[in-house]
Structure 1
Amino acid sequence: MEDLALSWDLGTAGLLILAASSVAVLLILIMAFKVHAFLALMITSVGTALAAGIPPNQLLDALAFGFNSTLGNVMLLVALGAMLGRMIETSGGAKILADRMIALVGEKRASLGLSLASLLMGFPIFFDAGLVVMMPIIYAVARRVGGSFLAIALPAAVAFSAMHIFAPPHPGPVAASTIVGADIGLVMIVGLVFAVIIWALVGVLLAPWLGRRFDVAIPTLLGGEQEETGFESNPKVGTIIALLGLPLVLILLNTGLNTLGATRPEPDAFLDSGWVSSLRVVGETPIALLITVIVSMFVLGWGAGKKGTLIEKITDSALGPIASVVLITGAGGMFGGVLRVTGIGDAVAGSLNDIGLPVLVAAFLVAQIVRLAQGSATVALTTAASLMVGVIAASDFSPLQVVAIVMAMSAGSVGFSHVNDSGFWLVSRFFGMDMKQTLGTWTLLQGAMAIVGFVLSYLLFGLASVIG
């Protein structure tokens, strides 16, 4: 959509007013008039596009820009993850694993154990894919322990998000590091430390407290606790752990090789070589999940004496309940995409860059405001990195100071997820929250992650200045 020509120029101030007005209209439609989130997002996207001056003959292209890309990414992951989760849930595997985990850590520490497991899983796997794979275990632990569902679920989501935002081999920090010339290995070490600290402060301490403020029932997307399907087989704990670990190992092949390639003098030659290319394909998240689903069909289905017709019924039953999740998430991407094609992110980032703020503050604020304006954390991070690269190149920063700047941009890119972020709607639907509840929990948690991340970046930058 780079060649899109708007019918009129609203300027930075006009674009900011338009973005704020669009968000307000969306909130009113959903909260006051109770319009379904998918319809409200689509109505607001159309209105925002036309108000921004997108020509009518390019309106559908502007809507498709965010919707198609988000839906394409989310649909495969959610569908395959739901099939895997449905088989694990209905076989009894989720309950068995939840019972074993609670027996090890105790009911009072079940949320902590689940969150720690999510943190470890979050190292190689993307936020949305990891959350989908983990959902049957989260549901099972919540049923077993009782009490507040969100107090159990939110810490796990924070763990996945912390790893995704701050630690390579995830795409955001890798892209930012590549743009500004930061040492990938150093970014990974610092990113992992930041992710663990942020998880401990926000996920372990704050998330359960926020979760207990809302009474949300355990969702039934993957089936209810008492439902009998004929697929029950009571698999061993080791079998379920192996099935959950399989996509992690495969995905780590891809992300690990991509990170290794970025450190090579000729990355394309390394990544396109025969065996590396093959392993990267196997480790692409949709392919890794597809392989895991097929293996699960053999292990939990045919291997447990289940008929093919029952296996087909179980996997098919996983798709209907997640249709709303996928469509609303795609519509959230549509709204964010419309805001991106208006140029609001670039306009705001350019204005902030001209103010002359200290580099660390500017890096954080550019990423944060672009994130608030258009929703995508990856776009916010790469936009900030592209603007900061000239400042960094012209300055005499140490390698550790450059890493601190990357961490500040990462912190800004995660902050205050709201209605123009597809991830906001993914969490909302999977956790059974309405928009007000999601704003009161997930948005605040993401904001807290941003603030803690910036403070850590500031401390690291100061430390790097002292030690040279």
Structure 2
Amino acid sequence: MDDLVLTWDLGTGGLLLLAAGAIALLLVLIMAFRIHAFVALMITSLLTAIAAGIPFDRLLEAIAFGFNPTLGNVMLLVALGAMLGRMIEVSGGARVLTDKLIERFGEQRAAMAVGVASLLMGFPIFFDAGLVVMMPIIYAVARRLGGSLLTVAFPAALAFSSMHIFVPPHPGPVSASAILGADVGLVLLLGLVVAIPVWYLVGVLFGGWVGRRYDIRVPDLLSGSKDEYEEMESNPSFGRILFLLLLPLFLILLNTGLNMYASTTEDADAFKAEPVVAALRLLGETPVALLITVVISFWLLGWGMGKRGSLVDKVADSALGPIASVVLVTGAGGMFGGVLRVTGIGTAIADSLNAIGMPVILAAFLISQIVRIAQGSATVALTTAASLMAGVVAQGDFNPVQIAAIVLATAAGSVGFSHVNDSGFWLVSRFFGLDVATTLKTWTVAQGLMAIVGFAISVAIYLVGGLLG
């Protein structure tokens, strides 16, 4: 919607007031009037678009701007992940894996083990896809341990979030590295230096406190009925379940490796276009990797175990109904964030902050953080801040370590204080069974802590880089 011209110019101050009013209205609709989040998000998005001066004949286009891509991306990943999760759950595979984890690490360390597994899986897998794949394991471990779901869920979810935000080959840090001229390999190494402490301090320590503070029961999203358990349960081996969890990881890593190798060749596009390479890259696209894994799970946990095809189909189909609300609410969250982006609020704020003049690493962090809070998308916040700071970084006397630190500080800003205009907020809210108020008190605070801790470590890296010359 680059050609959109608003009916009136609200200015940066007016856009800020509009965003604040829209968020306040959304919270009132959901928390005070108890309107379903999907409906409340649609109402708020429409009213915000009108108040911003978007012409009436382009209102639906503005609403679709954020809704369509978010829904398209989330729907495939959540639907396929839910099918895989349901197959693992009702076959008894989740229980088998849980027993193995507890046998190996003990009940006291089981939550940590799930977090470490998520950290490893989070290297190539996007936040939403990884979280969906791990949910049946998170649910099973939480049921076995008793207590709050958040004790297990927070270390796992924040492991995926940490890797997604700070570590290439995820698109945010890769894009920022390209824009700011950073060495992607160095960003990867230093990104791990940031991501792992952030995960431990926020995911494990703060997540443990959250689990003790909020007693959240395990939702029934991925649970089959009693009859399905009786007919489908086959107690598959630990090796089968581990294979199903590692298969998408391997396929996505294959795609990532080929893309990274292509970037080192003289003609990356020609290399990617080679038929064999293109086919292998296709297998590693996240939706395709999950599709392959789901089909194989039908065989390993169903047909190959002597289960009727109609039963396997019934189990797979039963996974889709419960996640419809998750998908629609997440898409509507993308709609709300998209409307705010269309108004130009992110660019207006970024331009104003860029004109103030402050240390580059602090300016990059603040621009990214405020744009993230204003319009919801971490990727947009990261690329906006990186684009605005690119000229300053290019003209400055920064060494490779310092430039990498600036990239990581910008990434830290882009993760902070996820709230109601972020589709990821709604994904977590629905999968964890949290109401809006509790999600704000837990997930929003955790994401804010990730930003603060990540920025502090990035500054430390920047200062060390300055000493190294």
Fold shared by both chains (TM-score > 0.5):
yes
How do residues 406-425 of structure 1 correspond to structure 2 at under 5 angstroms?
A: 406-425=407-426
Between stretches 101-110 and 411-420, larger displacement belongs to 101-110
Task: From the superposition, tell whether residues 229 and 39 of structure 1 become closer, same or farther in structure 2 (CA, over 3 Å).
Answer: farther
Q: Which runs of 4+ in 1 moved over 3 A?
A: 224-227, 262-266
Is contact 1:211-1:441 (8 Å) kept?
no
What residue number does 1:252 align with? 253
* Deviation of the 1:49 alpha carbon: 0.2
Structure 2, unaligned runs of 5 or more: none
2:233 is aligned with 1:236: no
Question: Which letter maps to 2:367?
Answer: V
Is contact 1:169-1:256 (8 Å) kept?
no
Q: Distance in 2 between matches of 1:260 and 1:43?
A: 46
What's the CA shift string for 1:404-445, capped at 9, x where partnerless?
A: 000000000000000000000000000000001100110000
What residue number does 1:165 align with? 165
What residue number does 1:108 align with? 108
* Deviation of the 1:316 alpha carbon: 0.2
What residue number does 1:427 align with? 428
Question: Which letter maps to 2:182?
Answer: A
What residue number does 2:346 align with? 345
Task: From the superposition, tell whether residues 91 and 285 of structure 1 become closer, same or farther in structure 2 (CA, over 3 Å).
Answer: same
What residue number does 1:267 align with? 268
2:337 is aligned with 1:336: yes
What's the CA shift string for 1:286-306, capped at 9, x where partnerless?
A: 000000001111111110001
Percent identical residues: 67
Is contact 1:168-1:259 (8 Å) kept?
no
Q: Distance in 2 between matches of 1:100 and 1:226?
A: 24
Question: Which letter maps to 2:69?
Answer: S
What residue number does 2:84 align with? 84
Question: Which letter maps to 1:315?
Answer: A
Q: Distance in 2 between matches of 1:132 and 1:45?
A: 27
Q: Distance in 2 between matches of 1:278 and 1:353?
A: 44
**TM-score normalised by length of structure 2:** 0.98
Q: Distance in 1 between matches of 2:402 and 2:388?
A: 17
Give secondary structure in 2 for the equivalent of 1:412.
Answer: helix
Is contact 1:184-1:263 (8 Å) kept?
no
Give secondary structure in 1 for the equivalent of 2:232.
Answer: coil
What residue number does 1:216 align with? 216
Q: Distance in 1 between matches of 2:462 and 2:434?
A: 38
Is contact 2:154-2:204 (8 Å) kept?
no
2:48 is aligned with 1:53: no
**TM-score normalised by length of structure 1:** 0.98
Q: Distance in 2 between matches of 1:434 and 1:72?
A: 25
* Deviation of the 1:224 alpha carbon: 5.5
* Deviation of the 1:256 alpha carbon: 2.4
Give secondary structure in 1 for the equivalent of 2:322.
Answer: helix
Structure 1, unaligned runs of 5 or more: none
What's the CA shift string for 1:347-379, capped at 9, x where partnerless?
A: 101111111111000010011011001100011
What residue number does 1:438 align with? 439
What residue number does 2:371 align with? 370
Question: Which letter maps to 1:244?
Answer: L
Q: Distance in 2 between matches of 1:284 and 1:342?
A: 32
Is contact 1:363-1:388 (8 Å) kept?
yes
Question: Which letter maps to 1:351?
Answer: S
What's the CA shift string for 1:366-399, capped at 9, x where partnerless?
A: 1101100110001111111111110111111100
Q: Distance in 2 between matches of 1:273 and 1:337?
A: 36
How do residues 19-418 of structure 1 correspond to structure 2 at under 5 angstroms?
A: 19-223=19-223, 228-418=229-419
* Deviation of the 1:278 alpha carbon: 1.5
**Aligned-residue CA RMSD (Å):** 1.1
Between stretches 211-220 and 295-304, larger displacement belongs to 211-220
Is contact 2:345-2:375 (8 Å) kept?
yes
Is contact 1:87-1:300 (8 Å) kept?
yes
Question: Which letter maps to 2:452?
Answer: I
